[in-house]
Every structure is written in structure tokens, then in C-alpha cells.
Amino acid sequence: MTSGTSGRRQSSQVRAQALAANSPARGPVRLARQRRPAWIAAGVAILALGVLANVYLFEAASERTSVVRVARDVAVGQPLTRADLDTAVVALGPGVRAIPGAQLGEVVGRRAAVGLRAGTLLTASQVTVQLTPGPGQALVAVALKPSQLPPRGLEPGSQVRIVATSGGQDDTPSPSAQSGPAAGKDVAGVVDAVGGPDADGAVTVSLLVADGDASAVARLAAAGRVALVVTSQVGS
């Protein structure tokens, strides 16, 4: 083999190595091409999730409905006024039976069967058309001077004890009052309503008491011999 032939072969090998060194690598290009379908699939999945989320939000918004809401606190037994109620548009959860907003006018005038709190949705079980007094009860009006009122005042729904006080009149109990406050026994009652003070500052309080105690309480009230002790204040 001549030196010229050997030189040509070496030159060819050098050129081949140079071309191989300058040519771009094909490995990363193939890897990028392999990753492209994965990115496309991920994008499609994200798009599908976005569509499902929009459908869910649309359906949830379409199920929102107007219902009656309590605008301010209402004590048990009190009649509901228009100022006590308003409406709210909400999405009701399963099992919630709120009163539709269109029936707000029908609720006005009914009484609160339980104590109502502002901001809560009103349900049919929380109102009643039954007027006080209920079965076995009687309603007694008692006029109280400011000195006879509890320090914190009275609110409808408060539970009280009716106590007989001493007076200048004959304290001998009548036969019908042997079991009432005139016989030294306190009587449990519930404040049904509180009237405004008159010119002398006296406040008329309507009390729900057991029917058997109503007559004795009324006689003591007429004689000005009634004092009230609050045993449970509304909201406490």
C-alpha cells in the first residue's frame, strides 16, 4: 500500500469524524416528538375538566331559589310582621324545606313556634297559626309598676315565677285560690306580650299560666300584689 493511498484514507476518516461531530444530535429530537402527544393529552384533559366545572356551576346556579329568611330575632309566641322577614336566593341542600319566597305574605301574621334568629331560613315547622293560650293555659294581664319589674325588663318568651306579695287587703285565700300564689305557692308563667308604659309608668304584661292558677293570679294582679321573678330570659 502506497503512502498516497494511506494518506487519502486518513483524510477521509478525518472528514467523516468532523461531519459526525458537526451534525445535530437526533436523540433529543426524537424525545421531543415522543413527549408532544403526552402534552396534547394533558391539555385535552384540562380542557375537559374546565368544561365539566362550568356545567356544574351552571346547574348549581340554576337550582338557586328564593326563600323566606328571618330578618331579626323573634321570640317564641310572637306574631310575625313584615319587618321580621325578608327573602334570600340560595341553593338548597338535600332535605332543606324552607318556605318559598313567594309565600312570604302568607307567613306574616302567624306566630313563631320557636325562637327565631336573624339570618336563618324559615321553615314551616317554625311557625304556627295557633293563637295563645294553648290547651290547658290561660292568658292573664298584669299591670306592673316600674318597681315591680325585673331590673333587666321583660321580653316575650321569658319564663317567670309569679310571686304573691303582702298587701293591705285581707290576705285570707279563697277556696278557689288554695293551690295558687295566694296560698304561698309560686306560679310558673311565660311572658306572652309586653305593652308600653302608661302615663304612670305602669307596664301591662300578658302572662301565660296554667288554667287552674289563672283566677288567683288575676285577683292578685287586681290588688297590686304580684311580683315577677325571671327564671329564663330569651336568648340566654
Query: Residues 7-19: pLDDT tens digits?
Result: 556 556 656 555 5
Query: Is the CB of residue 218 less than 8 Å from the CB of residue 140?
Result: yes
Question: What does the alpha-carbon distance between residue 52 and residue 4 come to, in Å, rounded to a whole number?
Answer: 76
| Cell numbers that stand for 57 in this block | 356551576
Q: What angle do CA 106, 71, 113 make, to 5 degrees?
A: 55
64-105 confidence digits (pLDDT tens): 889 999 999 887 777 899 999 999 998 877 777 889 989 999
User: Secondary structure of 21-62 in the HEC alphabet?
Assistant: HHCCCCHHHHHHHHHHHHHHHHHHHHHHHHHHHHHHHHHHHH
The CATH code that applies to domain 64-128 is 3.90.1210.10
CA of residue 106 relative to chain centroid, distance: 21
Q: What is the pLDDT of residue 200?
A: 77
Question: CA 95 to CA 97: how far, in whole Å?
Answer: 6
Among candidate residues 181, 194, 79, 212, the one with its CA nearest the CA of residue 143: 194
**DSSP H or E segment with residue 11:** helix 3-22
Domain boundaries, the chain: 25-62, 64-128, 137-232
In this prediction the pTM is 0.46
Q: Which residue has the cell 338535600?
A: 94
At a CB cut-off of 8 Å and minimum separation 6, what does 209 contact?
A: 137, 138, 140, 162, 187, 188, 189, 217
pLDDT at 177 over 70: no
Question: Which SS3 state, helix, strand or coil, does residue 177 take?
Answer: helix
126 neighbors 74 (Cβ within 8 angstroms): no
Question: Per-residue pLDDT tens for 13-64?
Answer: 656 555 555 555 455 555 455 556 666 766 667 777 777 766 566 555 557 8
